[in-house]
Amino acid sequence: MTVGDLVEIFQDDPSNWIDAENAIGLVVNISPTDPEFYYDKRSVSVLVLGELGDFWEDELYRVERMYDEGR
């Protein structure tokens, strides 16, 4: 995942931001991992529904380019 990717959001706890669940957003920032707290997780800032939200990297799925196949 890199800055500029389109991602679909599947939160661990959807009640945190119900409107963002299953929404498509744009990755605008990826923070480095912090070895003192979360060894395998990075926080990712996503522009979704006109607002910036922070999600764990494992809550986001990159949207593939489906329409480029077969051309």
Nearest residue to 8 via CA among 23, 27, 28, 26:
23
pTM reported for the whole predicted model = 0.78
How many CA atoms lie less than 13 Å away from 1 in the CB half-sphere?
25
* HEC letters along 1-67: CCCCCEEEECCCCHHHCHHHCCCEEEEEEECCCECCCECCCCEEEEEECCEEEEEEHHHEEECCCHH
Cα–Cα distance between 46 and 29 in angstroms, integer?
Answer: 7
pLDDT tens per residue across span 30-64: 988 766 665 667 889 999 999 999 999 999 999 97
pLDDT tens per residue across span 3-30: 999 999 998 888 888 999 999 999 999 9
